[in-house]
Chains A and B, each alone.
Chain A
Amino acid sequence: MDKQTSFTSFELELQAILDVPEPDEVFVQNLRATLLNPSTRRQSPKGLINRSFHNPWRWGAGHPAWAWVSAIILLVALAIFLTAGPERVVAAARRWLGGFIPGIGFIDNESNLRILEKPVQISVEGATIAVEKAYTNSRETAIQIHYLDDNRACKDTGLTFEEYRTGLEKKVYLLLPDGRKLYALTPRFSSWGKFPPLPDGLNEVVLVMPSNAIYACNVGDPTNQAASSTFCQCLDDDLRWLIQLKFITPPPGSVLPVGDNATPTVLPFAPETAQSSSILTVTAQAQPADIAATPVLDPQPELVGKLVTLDDGYLILVALKRDRTASVSYSFGLNERHFQLSDASGNKIDAEEVDRSEVNPDVFNDFQWGDTLLLRTRTKQGKAPLTLTFSTLVLSQYQFGREAEFDLDLGTQLQPGQRIPFQKSFDFVPGHPFTLRQVTIDNLTTADLGVTLTFAGQGYEIIQVNPVPFPDPPPQGGSSGQCADFQDCFYTSTSLTPATDSRYHLAVSALEYTVQGSWSLLFQP
């Protein structure tokens, strides 16, 4: 380590979480000796420490238990197939892979699908929750709950996070008219909470939830800054939420198309890469309804995507469709918590972002759209076409049509914690100015001057401010985010090299903004 690194207290906490033990000194010295000895260096790497890779996943390496289990399952499946008859097995599979109503749930003509008649909202002692969507079929009951507000004052039970979660599934259930309880299978209601299916013909149930089924609650007066959030029992067990739900059979013709947007436009990309077997590239536009409230540089960004079929899944490329002749250059970021990939039946497909270095570079040959989001699925199961939907786009801009530079004179008697007011406005984004309101001196060291620049302006987040000329001296990093000093303000931290005349010249080199909307990309594997 040739340079000391400064971390914030939060980063140090994370560092402690991630830290791992130091290497065994015997190993370190043995490897050192090996590297110094040309004769041993010629051995294979594995021979360096006389240890081969432990690969419990390889057949022949002791046949791990899961392999035997898989083999047994296959044999059982084969036996069922032969005894029950192919038609019945196929029919069962078709039932299992039934259709889907986007935003609602599965559709299976044979599964007695029922959907929530209308959204339900209930308030209990200052807390409000709403059930907006729900369905039940022959396989499961799924309920989506939104948590709206919480003004409860609760007592701390002293529960730890794990204790808080333990047993929660036994407290959340559907109460049937005959007194039976269907306990939650996945009592996490940030998305869909899953329960067993409702019996045929039974359409009215009561969802029973304890107050702490959502998440932690505040202790003390919420208006008091000293109030802390913890895990607590806010209401007596007898005072749980009781939410009456009524299900109905969806009217004929109520099946919605996959995705909520206009039909995407198919772009004529060449369907051949080293890995791909079939590609369909589409674009999708945002619905403009939700965008007006947020000032943005590009009010209706378009997405372009591409699907590559791999041996064991799919690779999906997504980028911002840009006007390549425009002077504005976008880097493209996505709020990954607001996308979802699903198949034609509405089944959610897990996808994770992967690095560019982990994929065959040939996939980019016909996809030259700059920064690209890469999503990788681990399965090819699912009914085509696949739909990738976004509700939030986080867009970054690194180049501006005009200079975004400014001078600062901070004076010479600086103290840590000192706040220096400014009133410097920037309007290089026409119609959406933002103003530097304050410079806070975070730290004074011999190496640099740590400052936090506070801006006022709605809809932006400046993610990098560099000393000018850039990159000499190089930026030291920092953090950015929303702040509370001014209305609609944001801040960014950076480090400045001390100047003898107290004057600094800085440039906004990157900013970021969020666009709310709805985008859908349709892929045909």
Chain B
Amino acid sequence: MIQPVTQDVRSRVNQEENSVDESSLLRAACHNPAAFARLYDRYVHALYKYLLSKTGNVAEAEDLTSQTFLSALENLPAYRDQGNFRAWLFTIARNKWVDFCRKNSRLFSLDNKSPAAMQIDFLQEVIQGEKSQVLSDLVRKLRKNEVDLLRLRLVSELEFGEIAVVLGKSESAVKKTYYRLIERMKKDMEQIYG
């Protein structure tokens, strides 16, 4: 039996900041940019890292991050607080990415190296050890939407409900897909390492 090992994962925002009610910030942000800045501080790192992991390019990730927050700020009055502002933000980011790919003919380009591959390339510098190398090789072989799911969960640390909003799927479907993917990768690793 595989025993899940629970470990705390770092939280990038301190407890005091987290304790501020997001709904209050959202209401205030419509009239007060400073309130929006606090939301920005809360999510900019995770959002940027998500986009960097997709693009593999710092300049593009910065551009898309800028566009995402600008779009979020401009559309804030139309946002209906449903308790998942972060999911809404990542949905915008993902749409920006899709738009970017369409404009640049990248999304379905056969010629271009996939973002995942680019990401892996520069990650090679920090990946040490054979096992990590094999694992990164498994990631490289995943389909785009599978890697995207892993990014949203593991890089951006979104909840399943939030990922469901971003991907336009049901939460249970996202969970099912995610855990099936994890299990498949585990089995692949076990086949190699026993």
Contact = CB atoms under 8 A, between A and B. Distances in A.
Interface residue tally on B, bucketed by range: 35 or more
A370 B76 CA distance: 33
Contacts of B74: 41
Interface residues on A, range: 35 or more
A5 B154 CA distance: 9
A22 B150 CA distance: 18
A236 interface: no
Contacts of B100: 53
Given A228-B194, A354-B145, A357-B168, A2 B44 contact: no
A442 interface: yes
A88 interface: no
A302 interface: no
B89 interface: no
Nearest to A311: B108
B75 interface: no
Nearest to A12: B7
Contacts of B2: 479, 481, 483, 491
B159 A5 contact: yes
A229 B9 contact: no
A211 to B, nearest CB: 16
B172 interface: yes
Contacts of B148: 355
Contact of A440 (B1, B94, B154): B1
A15 B169 CA distance: 23
B62 A23 contact: yes
Interface string B18-54: 1000100000000001101100111011101100110
Interface in A218-259: 218, 227-230
Nearest to A225: B194
B1 A8 contact: no
B126 to A, nearest CB: 8
Nearest to A398: B172
Given A6-B6, A227-B194, A352-B143, A32 B135 contact: no
A21 B123 CA distance: 10
Interface string A352-378: 111111100000000000010000101
A443 B44 CA distance: 32
Contacts of B48: 22-23, 28
A24 B111 CA distance: 30
B193 A228 contact: yes
Interface of B: 1-9, 11-13, 18, 22, 33-34, 36-37, 40-42, 44-46, 48-49, 52-53, 57-63, 65-67, 69-71, 73-74, 86, 94, 98, 100, 103-112, 119, 123, 127, 130-137, 139, 143-145, 147-148, 150-151, 153-155, 157, 159-161, 167-169, 172-173, 175-177, 179-180, 182-183, 185-187, 189, 191-194
Contacts of B11: 1, 4
A452 to B, nearest CB: 7
Contacts of B135: 13-14, 17
Given A1-B157, A32-B41, A443-B4, 17 more contacts: A4-B9, A7-B9, A9-B7, A12-B7, A14-B185, A17-B132, A31-B66, A32-B37, A41-B70, A53-B100, A54-B57, A54-B59, A218-B194, A355-B168, A357-B168, A440-B1, A442-B4
Contacts of B109: 57, 378
A12 B132 CA distance: 11
Interface centre among A46, A57, A336 (most CB of B within 10 A): A57
A160 interface: yes
Interface of A: 1-24, 27-28, 31-32, 34-38, 41, 45-46, 48-49, 51, 53-55, 57-58, 66, 160-162, 215-216, 218, 227-230, 312-313, 331, 333, 336, 352-358, 371, 376, 378-379, 394, 396, 398, 417, 440, 442-443, 445, 450, 452, 454, 463-464, 474-475, 477-481, 483-485, 491, 493, 509-510, 512
A229 B193 contact: yes
B150 A14 contact: yes
Given A18-B139, A32-B40, A483-B2, A49 B144 contact: no
B139 A14 contact: yes
Contacts of B70: 35, 41, 45, 48
A87 B175 CA distance: 56
Indicate the member of B57, B139, B153, B194 with the most A CB atoms within 10 Å.
B194
Contacts of A41: 70, 73-74
B98 A53 contact: no
A14 to B, nearest CB: 6
Nearest to A354: B145
Nearest to A356: B168
Given A31-B66, A54-B57, A336 B143 contact: yes
Given A6-B6, A49-B62, A478-B179, A36 B159 contact: no
A66 B111 contact: yes
15 contacts: A2-B18, A11-B182, A17-B135, A18-B147, A19-B49, A35-B37, A35-B40, A57-B111, A160-B130, A353-B143, A357-B98, A378-B110, A440-B3, A454-B1, A463-B175
